């Protein structure tokens, strides 16, 4: 467990102990109520352990930096903001839901943030909708969260899987070929990402030669790689994330598949590229945020601030997801001048992130009647090394989010609001 995570959890324990001590010494209901109202609480229900632990760590670092900045400018509506951290685990929806209910019912958080795992994010969204709590999903990509299962109170920072597919499909068809074989993680994120790629590729003449579903936490991909090789595709599409992606790509290169086929996918992450040996940093991918943007305001300062908090490591897309999610919660309250969930959700319809939070061109905004952030996407190629030890991606195209997002009708979101 990282020192960042320990400090977050220890801080929470200290705050909880202090609160219990206060209750023991002062029994006046008025005093207890006043104490509870002193701070604005943000519940952070995200993986700290398991396959997605590295991604969760970086989302937490971004969230902590945002909280520091918010409190440094007077907090939320003049009140200090507090981050309450819970480990959802990487793949247990029951645990994520239990932690969400705990944060809402016992801790009485004003905001809920999470989850990286799309299935867990969707399950948590059901809880936050039931309870009427403003919910920000930083990094769970499956389309229905802001599509067919959209809710008035649930907002999302990361892209939908269809947006990622639309951004990269043209480049893959043009530069690598039309015959694709899919290796897909067997849960909501993988299913919708493959469906999105199939749809985007078909429009451009691409075909699916075959595919396999791989369980979350797979360590040996050899049987899947043998089948992919036998199909003789132009491109082997890897849709795994976290440790699964590291294992799959490392083994593909050990098998020499990179010499015969183009290895590629949609979503790729710096955490994965850092975890790979240099020879396995290959292929065409989409980054949802990248740290090398020399002409974009505030990015250089953000990189410097994160390096100070992370032992010199640059921010990843996950760091930005956590950072933007916490800032968006604060911005919702400030725009609404209220902590009432409906008022905050209404205030965020069409809202543009300010440049110091957006950290990319073209002013990302929350699409009205969907609550999906529409940011740019960074298409390019993994590289063994660059100008910095963590410069492992060469951006060849910045795809406009509004073009990748399609229409509101395409998403299937039919949002209803409380009476």
Please state the three-class secondary structure of 270-292 as a single string: HHHHHHCCHHHCCCEEEECCCCC
Distance CA 164, CA 287 (A): 9
Distance CA 162, CA 61 (A): 27
Distance CA 21, CA 283 (A): 56
How, if at all, do strands 284-287 and 377-382 pair?
A: antiparallel
Structure tokens at 81: 């903001």
Structure tokens at 298: 């505030």
CB atoms within 10 A of CB 92: 17
CB atoms within 10 A of CB 86: 21
Distance CA 189, CA 161 (A): 7
Task: Give the residue carrying structure tokens 């999302």.
Answer: 156
* All residues at 6 or more sequence positions from 318 whose CB lies less than 8 Å from its CB, including other chains: 55, 56, 58, 59, 62, 116, 138, 139, 269, 271
Within 204-316, where are the H helices?
Answer: 222-231, 242-254, 270-275, 299-309
CB neighbour burial string for 315-328, b if at least 16 within 10 angstroms, e if fewer: bbbbbbbbbbbbbb
CB neighbour burial string for 150-160, b if at least 16 within 10 angstroms, e if fewer: bbbbbbbbbbb
Query: SS3 of 130, please?
Result: helix
How, if at all, do strands 365-366 and 373-374 pair?
A: antiparallel
CB atoms within 10 A of CB 354: 11
Would 3-159+296-375 and 162-287+377-405 be classified into the same CATH topology? yes
Q: Which of 286, 304, 298, 295 is nearest to 324 (CA)?
A: 298
pLDDT at residue 17, as a whole number: 34
pLDDT at residue 37, as a whole number: 60
* All residues at 6 or more sequence positions from 13 whose CB lies less than 8 Å from its CB, including other chains: none
Domain 162-287+377-405 is in which class?
Answer: alpha beta
Distance CA 135, CA 195 (A): 26
Dihedrals phi, psi of 14, to nearest 5 degrees? -60, -45
- The whole-angstrom distance between residue 142's C-alpha and the CA centroid of its chain comes to 10
Distance CA 318, CA 287 (A): 10
9, containing H or E segment = helix 3-25
CB atoms within 10 A of CB 177: 15
Cα-based torsion angle of the residue sequence 73, 346, 122, 12 in order, rounded to the nearest 10 degrees: 30
pTM of the model: 0.90
Contact 350, 389 (CB under 8 A): no
State the Rg of the chain over Cα.
21
Write down the domain spans for the chain: 3-159+296-375, 162-287+377-405
Task: Give the residue carrying structure tokens 């809710």.
Answer: 151
* All residues at 6 or more sequence positions from 322 whose CB lies less than 8 Å from its CB, including other chains: 58, 59, 60, 61, 62, 63, 64, 66, 113, 138, 139
Domain 3-159+296-375, CATH homologous superfamily name and number: Response regulator (3.40.50.2300)
Helix (H), strand (E) counts: the chain? 16, 14
Contact 68, 25 (CB under 8 A): no
Distance CA 417, CA 368 (A): 13
- From first to last of its 419 residues, the chain has per-residue pLDDT tens of 333 433 444 444 333 333 333 333 322 222 223 334 689 999 999 999 999 999 999 999 999 999 999 999 999 999 999 999 999 999 999 999 999 999 999 999 999 999 999 999 999 999 999 999 999 999 999 999 999 999 999 999 999 999 999 999 999 999 999 999 999 999 999 999 999 999 999 999 999 999 999 999 999 999 999 999 999 999 999 999 999 999 999 999 999 999 999 999 999 999 999 999 999 999 999 999 999 999 999 999 999 999 999 999 999 999 999 999 999 999 999 999 999 999 999 999 999 999 999 999 999 999 999 999 999 999 999 999 999 999 999 999 999 999 999 999 999 999 999 98
């Amino acid at each position: 467990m990282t020192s960042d995570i320990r400090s977050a959890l220890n801080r929470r324990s200290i705050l909880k102990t202090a609160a219990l001590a206060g209750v023991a010494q002062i029994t006046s209901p008025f005093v207890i109520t006043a104490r509870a109202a002193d701070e604005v609480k943000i519940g952070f229900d995200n993986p700290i352990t398991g396959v997605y632990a590295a991604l969760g760590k970086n989302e937490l670092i971004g969230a902590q930096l945002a909280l520091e900045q918010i409190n440094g400018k007077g907090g939320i509506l003049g009140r200090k903001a507090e981050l309450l951290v819970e480990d959802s685990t990487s793949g247990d929806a029951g645990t994520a839901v239990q932690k969400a209910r705990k944060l809402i019912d016992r801790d009485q958080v004003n905001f809920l943030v999470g989850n990286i795992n799309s299935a867990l994010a969707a399950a948590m969204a059901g809880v936050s909708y039931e309870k009427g709590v403003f919910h920000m999903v930083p990094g769970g990509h499956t389309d229905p969260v802001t599509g067919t299962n959209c809710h008035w109170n649930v907002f999302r920072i990361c892209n939908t899987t269809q947006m990622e597919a639309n951004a990269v499909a043209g480049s893959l068809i043009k530069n690598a070929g039309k015959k694709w074989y899919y290796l897909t993680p067997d849960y909501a994120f993988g299913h919708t990402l493959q469906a999105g790629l199939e749809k985007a590729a078909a429009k451009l003449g691409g075909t699916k030669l075959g595919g396999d579903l791989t369980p979350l936490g797979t360590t040996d991909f050899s049987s899947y790689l043998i089948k992919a090789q036998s199909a003789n595709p132009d491109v082997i599409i890897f849709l795994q994330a976290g440790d699964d992606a590291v294992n799959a790509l490392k083994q593909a290169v050990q098998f020499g598949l990179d010499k015969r086929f183009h290895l590629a996918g949609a979503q790729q992450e710096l955490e994965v590229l850092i975890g790979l040996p240099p020879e396995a940093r290959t292929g065409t991918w989409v980054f949802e945020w990248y740290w090398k943007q020399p002409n974009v305001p505030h990015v250089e300062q953000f990189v410097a601030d994160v390096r100070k908090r992370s032992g010199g490591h640059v921010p990843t897309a996950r760091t930005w997801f956590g950072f933007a999610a916490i800032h968006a919660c604060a911005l919702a309250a400030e725009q609404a001048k209220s902590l009432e969930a409906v008022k905050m959700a209404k205030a965020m319809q069409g809202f543009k992130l300010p440049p110091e939070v957006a950290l990319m061109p073209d002013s990302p905004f929350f699409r009205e009647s969907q609550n999906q952030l529409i940011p740019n996407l960074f298409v390019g190629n993994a590289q063994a090394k660059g100008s910095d030890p963590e410069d492992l991606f060469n951006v060849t195209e910045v795809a406009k989010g509004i073009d990748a997002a399609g229409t509101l009708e395409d998403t299937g979101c039919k949002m209803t609001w409380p009476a």
